[in-house]
Amino acid sequence: MENKEEVQAQEVEQTEEVSPKQKEVVVEAKNQNVNPDEFDWDAYEKNPLDVSNERKELEDLYGKTLSSISENEVIDGLVVAMNKREALINIGYKSEGVVNMNEFRYNTELKVGDSVEVFVESQEDKNGQLALSHKKARALRSWDRVNQALEQDEIIKGYIKCRTKGGMIVDVFGIEAFLPGSQIDVKPIRDYDIYVNKTMEFKVVKINHEFKNVVVSHKALIEAELEQQKKNIIAKLEKGQVLEGTVKNITSYGVFIDLGGVDGLIHITDLSWGRITHPEEIVQLDQKLNVVILDFDDDKKRIALGLKQLTPHPWDALDTNLNVGDKVKGKVVVMADYGAFVEIATGVEGLIHVSEMSWSQHLRSANEFLKVTDEVEAVILTLDRDERKMSLGMKQLKADPWEKIEESYPVESKHKANVRNFTNFGVFVEIEEGVDGLIHISDLSWTKKIKHPAEFTSIGAEIEVSVLEIDKDNRRLRLGHKQLEENPWDVFETLFQVDSIHEGTIIELADKGGIISLPYGVEGFCTPKHLVKEDGSPAKLEEKLDFKVIEFNKDAKKIIVSHARVFEDVQRAEDRAKRSSESKSNKKTAKKLVDNIEKTTLGDISALAALKDEMETSEKAKKESKAKAAPKAEAKKEETPEAKVEATEAKEEVTEAAPKAKATKEEAPKAEDEAKPEAESAE
């Protein structure tokens, strides 16, 4: 090694002492394997070599090997060298171009010898370097290539840049294309991030030229293979066949199983004989398990699978000694308005109907008694092993309160109850669980007239009751509240006697009359004509007045009162007293008055008859005077006014006398009637 280095150093020193031309000769001699020491330098200096022609020929030959290129042109080049940062591209020009490796990020399999397209930015930059760009070349040709790939159904490569909503962004020929999540694989994708920064093969499935959008799919590449596998599997499907599959997806209603290109569904009810709330309690994603084919449609596109069918039915293993009437324990697994399903063993359930939860007659929701996961004890009411059905009861664990109802709640016994419900005719109450009764609206109060039970009590309130009647067959009690006190109407009968006067307040007014609040909490009724005051004005609401009892009905619990009668009866009493005092002092005068009235009446009649005769005589005279001659006209004229005056006076007398006579006739009987009792009292 040391000898070689010394020889090279000597050669360098000798080379430095010669002229540049000599150096060229030395280089050529080396290239031609000629020893420089044996070269005739003197002859060379006297006759130098003429190589200009050869050089020109060589330049022409070299120029023919170079391509003629122009700037802003897209041409194909060959990768001649590459490292982590740059790739050296030969485009047939006198120098190679350099392209940054970031522009080939989408193509991780790039290697020396690959052909790539580049864009000539400049034939020579400031550093004398050929400037090329692969990214710009792809952008110029990208839409043509994308359209060509769609038309010819070509498989292209793309680089997945990042995630986006609903899928991924893929760099295809320098264009950002969209890869939907459903088009990545035939299996549901749970983690999209594992595909980022990966280069994959795709097919262009859709192009929107208006918005420059491209949609690609990787799933389309593998569907063809899967379709063939699917046909092979479907051709061998049979009901009852057991196959191995992989859990592909889990939903709230079931599990999708991949059978090797064909998907089947295990419904949540076919996962386990027992009830489950979600399939994840039984299976997990990517879990391999055996399933049985339950059914498939005619096209065999939908396959129903089962998992629980691979194990025996729990009803077949149910204890044979279990009979109706036995007590069992279990857990509530499902709740409904009509009842609760209780699991007494895995896969064995019984129904407790809401009517079997309590002896109460009120139909309520089962949720008021139980909830899911509650541990309960019940009695078997029915058991059908063939139909695999069982009904249970909870109330049977307690004694029926109606069996000894007469002993627990005898007639006239007093108890406390809770108001459960209202109706227009009464109140339903519950004395204890299972023992209900009705208080009729008429049995709420002795004194108040109640239109609706809500005026008297409220739902949920406690009320004291008395048992009036027991109907054991229909499980009914007739109850009363007012019977807790003595009937006040026995006392009211002595207090509110007819014609007694009491102070009352008008608490309600209507067209038919008013309701009057009387002492001791009792109410009376007053008609409109009896609500008129002494001055003729009607009484008003909330006004306090005196009222007279004009009717009292104990059986109907009705009191009718009147305000008008109070002052009307006083006025009548005063008038009666006045007339009585006058009649006593004029007892004898009344008798004479009757006689005089009779006489006067007869005399007036005679005077009228005389007047009538005179009037008839004057009329006749008048008619006769018209028939007499003219000479007697003046005398007639003198007599006629007198006759007229007499006739006029006669008429006036008749007119005045007639009403007097009539009045006299009317007063005569009245006088007689008044005089008779006075005379009798005097005797």
Chain segment 535-569, per-residue pLDDT in tens: 888 888 888 888 989 888 877 788 899 988 888 88
**E strand residue ranges, 146-287:** 155-164, 167-172, 175-180, 199-208, 213-217, 242-250, 254-258, 263-267
d(CA 142, CA 449): 95
Q: Apex CA 663: angle with CA 660 and CA 667, to 5°?
A: 135
* 3 state DSSP class of 653: helix
Partners of 265 in beta bridges: 256, 304
Name the helix (H) or strand (E) containing 305: strand 303-306
Residue carrying structure tokens 């009866």: 569
Which positions ≥6 away from 439 have C-beta within 8 Å? 426, 427, 429, 453, 463, 465, 479, 480, 481
**Quick one: pLDDT at residue 655?**
43
Query: Roughly what angle, to the nearest 10 degrees, separates helices 587-627 and 633-682?
Result: 160
What pLDDT, on a 0 to 100 scale, did the predictor assign at position 6?
47
- Yes or no: say if 461 and 418 are a contact pair by the CB < 8 Å rule: yes
pLDDT of amino acid 586:
59
Q: What is the pLDDT of residue 255?
A: 92
The one-letter amino acid at 300: K
pLDDT of residue 611: 65
What's the pLDDT score for residue 134?
A: 83
* CA dihedral over 623, 629, 632, 638, signed as positive or negative: positive
Over its C-alpha atoms, the chain yields an Rg (Å, rounded) of 66
DSSP 186-213: SSPPS-GGGGTT-EEEEEEEEEETTTTE
Q: What distance in Å separates the CA atoms of residue 42 and residue 253, rounded to the nearest whole number?
A: 104
Predicted confidence at residue 363, as pLDDT, reads 62
Q: Which residues pair with 508 in a beta bridge?
A: 515
Maximum distance among all Cα pairs of the chain, rounded to whole angstroms: 220
**Given CA atoms 110, 116, 118, 124 in this order, what sign does their dihedral have?**
positive
- pTM (whole model) above 0.95: no
- Measured in residues, the chain has a length of 683
Cα end-to-end span (Å), the chain: 191
Cβ–Cβ < 8 Å for 594, 675: yes
Sign of the C-alpha dihedral computed for residues 531, 537, 542 and 545 taken in this order: negative
Low-confidence ranges of the chain (pLDDT < 50): 1-19, 21, 25, 600-602, 629-683
- Per the listing, tokens 């120029």 go with 63
DSSP 487-505: -THHHHHHHS-TT-EEEEE
For residue 426, what are its two tokens?
A: 């009464």
pLDDT score, position 681 = 40
d(CA 500, CA 312): 92
Q: How many CB atoms within 10 Å of residue 91?
A: 21
Query: What is the reported pLDDT for 254?
Result: 92
The CB-based long-range contact list for 464-467 (8 Å cut-off, 24+ gap) reads: 464/414, 464/415, 464/416, 464/417, 465/414, 465/415, 465/416, 465/417, 465/429, 465/431, 465/437, 465/439, 466/412, 466/413, 466/414, 466/415, 467/409, 467/410, 467/411, 467/412, 467/413, 467/414, 467/415, 467/437
DSSP 391-450: EEESGGGS--GGGGHHHHS-TT-EEEEEEEEEETTEEEEEEETTEEEEEEGGGS-SS---
CB 585 within 8 A of CB 662: no
Give me the pLDDT at residue 357, please.
84
| 32/27 Cα distance (integer angstroms) | 9
Q: Write out the DSSP string of 545-556.
A: EEEEEEEEETTT
